[in-house]
Amino acid sequence: MSSLLIKNGTIVTASDRYAGDVYIEDETVATIGTHLELSADRVIDAQGCYLFPGGIDAHTHMELPFMGTFASDTFESGTLAGLHGGTTCIIDFAIQTQGDSLAAALDSWHQKADGHAVGDYAFHCAVTDFNDDTRKEIPDIINDHGINSFKVFMAYKGFLMVDDRQIFELMQELVKHGGILTSHCENGDMIDHMVKTFVDDGKVEPRYHVLSRPPICEAEASGRVIDLAWQTGCPNYIVHMTCEEALERVRKATLRNQKVHVETCIQYLLLDDSLYFQDGFEGAKIVMSPPLRKKKDQEALWAGINQNLIHHVATDHCPFCMNQKEMGIDNFAKIPNGAPGIENRMELLYSEGVAKGRISLNKFVEISSTGAAKIFGLFPRKGTITAGADADIIIFDPEVKHTISADSHHMMVDYNAYEGWEVQGKTRTTILRGTVAVDEGVAHVGEGFGKYLKRPPFTPHF
Ligand code: URP
Ligand code: ZN
Ligand code: ZN
């Protein structure tokens, strides 16, 4: 049995903050106390540092085949980059190819991840073709594969998008078997029409990406899926919410005491749509869907976090190198949608959130880890620091300042949307299941260290 003792840190969970030592045996937290005098194979002094639960990023796309290319991070490189920044666990989307089975999608994602991921991982199952055969697969996906969350795309017409009937019927099935429906909310028909109109008019620069996807598209689709969830009673989670108008639909639903789980992503809190209007092809770097919004939307999202309307801040990590983005140099509609972020999420959220006084330390833990763990059935194994939980802990030094750059990041992508940003606070050490995975920027684990996580049905969504 191996043991590790972390002394003199300040333990922070979603609800508490206290001085304490953490004693870890093998992969789990064994004891928490003050001035623990236990002998251990290794002792780490965390004086002056916070001990946070390992970050969970519930929205990533490693090696995603998308728009004629593949997202540039593998499960190995992407999860390792996450560990550098303090993310110990991801939930990636295994996406069905229309015409194929859900099981085939899961096989394909397991092949990419098993034996390769460095950090821990689970899968959501994205349903792009809900039919009688797919319906029959749902109980097995939930009970055998250990996947309790299913995703639908309300946009990307022609290859990922499903219609309302499919969403409604899938929700009814999930209610029976204890699943949760997650949704990419944009009105794909409206967008399809606007994209075509711009392209036909020769308006092909990256700025037309944002102009073809106005907030109303997202708000309408968000309201629609909320209503379908209300009617069916299906637990639901809206991914990557970006704007005030969509958040208003959530607020309205709470007035009838409906529970709607909401995710935003770090880029929607920090970057705005003026970036699409830069000269040349620069705007392609942040072509993602939904697009970046206005500063007033960022304010609404920060407020939404504190109003408990938003429960998780993910990344939608879906990186493409510039030569891949250039597939759309003559037509914004061909720019692969997505951007990197997994390595920087935790530190940016601390720096821009906690250090700038927008959120509390406890809220930081809740939205970077605990909330996702609870919603998706990983809690309390993941998402908190407590006896019996996986020893996924980051030792975070709030005093260290550093600068983000593609020259020093570990993500397999040749730009960083936050290039040159000064960040307050740094992940000093990342511990995954009791093993020091990354320490002072040096990785001590490698390919295959990550474990696949099964998640149970009927989780008590908070
Ligand atoms: O632009 C994005 N978000 N790319 C990844 C796929 C998705 O919609 O989540
Ligand atoms: Zn999406
Ligand atoms: Zn996504």
Is any ligand 1 atom within 6 A of the Cβ of residue 289?
yes
Question: Residue of the nearest CA to atom 9 in ligand 1?
Answer: 316
User: Is residue 184 in contact with ligand 1, taking CB distance under 6 Å?
Assistant: yes
How far away, in angstroms, is 132 Cα from ligand 2 center? 25
User: What pLDDT is attached to residue 462?
Assistant: 60
Q: Residue ranges of the chain with pLDDT lower than 50?
A: none
Nearest CA to ligand 1 atom 7: 289
Given the CA of residue 71, which atom of ligand 1 is nearest to it? 5
Find the ligand nearest to 267 CA.
1
CA distance 220 to 185: 8
Taking a 5 Å cut-off on Cβ, the residues next to ion ligand 2 are 184
Summarize pLDDT for 234-243 with one digit per residue, the tens: 999 999 999 9
DSSP 426-454: EEEEEEETTEEEEETTEE---TT---B--
What is the rounded end-to-end Cα distance, in angstroms, of the chain? 35
CA distance 387 to 189: 50
Ligand 1 contacts CB of residue 232 (under 6 A): no
Ligand 1 center–CA 436 separation, angstroms: 32
Q: What is the pLDDT of residues 391-443, one digit of tens each?
A: 999 999 999 999 999 999 999 999 999 999 999 999 999 999 999 999 999 99
Expressed in angstroms and rounded, the spacing between residue 125 Cα and the centre of ligand 2 is 13
How far is the C-alpha of 283 from the C-alpha of 438, rounded, in Å?
A: 33
**pLDDT at residue 9 in the model:** 98
Cα–Cα dist 380/377, whole Å: 8
| pLDDT of the residue at 460 | 84
Residue 19 CA to residue 34 CA, distance in Å, equals 7
CA distance 267 to 285: 12
Which ligand 1 atom is at minimum distance from the Cα of 184? Answer: 8
- The one-letter code for the residue type at 373 is A
- Strands annotated E in 178-269: 180-184, 236-238, 261-265
Angle at CA of residue 413, ends 409 and 414, nearest 5°:
85
Residue 249: how many other CB atoms lie within 10 Å = 22
Q: Is the CB of 337 under 6 A from ligand 1?
A: yes
Q: Which ligand is nearest to the CA of 318?
A: 1
Atom of ligand 1 nearest to the CA of 288: 1
Which whole-number Å values give the CA distances from 23 to 42, 47, 48, 87, 391, in the listed order? 10, 15, 18, 21, 9
